[in-house]
Structure 1
Amino acid sequence: MDGDSNRTRKAHRRQLEVCGIGGGSRGNDPTMGFEPQDLEGVETPHDDALVIKATIANYDISRVFVDTGSSVNIIFKKAFDQMQIDEADLESMATSLPYKIRLAISLGEEPARRTRYSFFTIVDAPSSYNMILGQPTLRAFSAVVSTYHQKIKFSEGDLVGEARAEKELLQVCPDRPETTVQVAAELPAKLKLELAACLLRNQDVFAWTPTDLTGVSPSISVHRLNVLPGARPIKQKRRHFDLEQNKVIREEVQKLLKAGHIKEVHFPTWLSNVVLVPSQTTSGGYAWISET
């Protein structure tokens, strides 16, 4: 963070250790690792950040971003004000960030629920997150983090506790398990019910797979390239993709062939490569387009 010198960071780590919340694992901690079953409910491939829900100072806080590269924990002032914590507990800092506060953090579910204390720096800045958990908390929990598995693991006695990425899925069509949409977990219960009812009433307007779009007449919707009549046809050289990208391309091509949206053409006059781009959807992965 701005204004944090190496001396300040070392002093901060020493203070954490004095408080009994420093890093270091115990000799009797269970072995922690990630198995294929840890990917249950996670759509891969993805580039999602790890955002969890945690109990902090007896408040259930959503939108908590886990940042393994941060040397401090951060609580944004808007969230701090809503928690109504006594400002008398604030401590001044000898940096450009004026205040910090020591709070209790609880992760996981019983019987593997663990609580530790850590310092949070208060930052008055806009953010889509309420808090950022950095190295101080991860050391306090002796946590193992996997953004790929969207999960944190930590030991509690001889048990392994977990904190999963927060997700709230609504199923739009009860008879089709794939018809899920992700909504903000912090939405009020009444609003979630109203949203679910609205989606259920209008489920016929959604297209969940390419096959849901069959039967559209070209007179209604057709794609044409606005090419100059005298333009010279272009044939691109074949572009090579890695194994994961080739798998995505094959799967998407088969979906469109099955739906009848595309057809195979031999010796085309025009030839262009597929372009894969990282998807910005909640499910992550790749979106793909044909380069023209």
Structure 2
Amino acid sequence: MDLHEYQLEAVETALFGFAGHAVYPEGEITLPLTLGTGDLRKTVMTVFTVVDAPSCYNIILGRTAMNEMRAMASTYHQKIKFPVRGRVGEVKGDQPSSRRCYEETVWVDQKKARREEKGKENQEKVTREREVHFVAEEEQEVVEIEPGKHIRVARDMNASTRVNLLNCLKANIGSRPVKQKKMHFGPEKDKVIEEQVGELLRAGHIREVQFPTWLSNVVLVPKSTGKWRMCVDFRDLNKACPKYCYPLSRIDQLVDSTSGCELLSFLDAYQG
């Protein structure tokens, strides 16, 4: 569809299947959805949640999209009907295609079940670390934080937490999410980045995140030893953050403070 990752809006809520497994979306995107043919066509702007998961279906229409279309579905007749300018439009299902989708779904589910059984322990560990809390749409209420801008919050949220959350959102409403384009460094530098990121992951200093905004590219800086030092370009994040009122001390003050000391140690703990 000629869509790109930077067009996706961030989503922090996981999707749960019937078996209770969590799927973390790639993001959301609003696209025009058209049902029907000829003069009996109807188009509405629909929010699609994009997931990277094996499925024989291209899209799945949820209750929100069906409500926008004012559509009614009949599994017995394999039809969807909806009003169009005082008339009735319809979408007809195809029985052979439905049977094929069902068979493919069963095959995908079986294959997925075997794979999930193999990595069940790791999945449970990741789920515990993320502590995902899902709130159904019926348990949410719309709150206006600025004229024309609304958010959804849980109805049973603690009063103090609710006040702090809304105050935080109002104070930072001017900051738009930034999506940096992924930088490419070439095979040699990519290998260095992969190695250093792997070390940080194994050490537990960083972890994987599931959102496309506020991600900062890494930057490789050559060291005097001929090796590469990996840094992170936090300029976009720094622009959106409050300025720190107490900057670092002046280097001449630090040097003067060592006056009278017998020993001065420069320890590079990272290099051991």
TM-score (norm 2): 0.31
More helix by share: 2
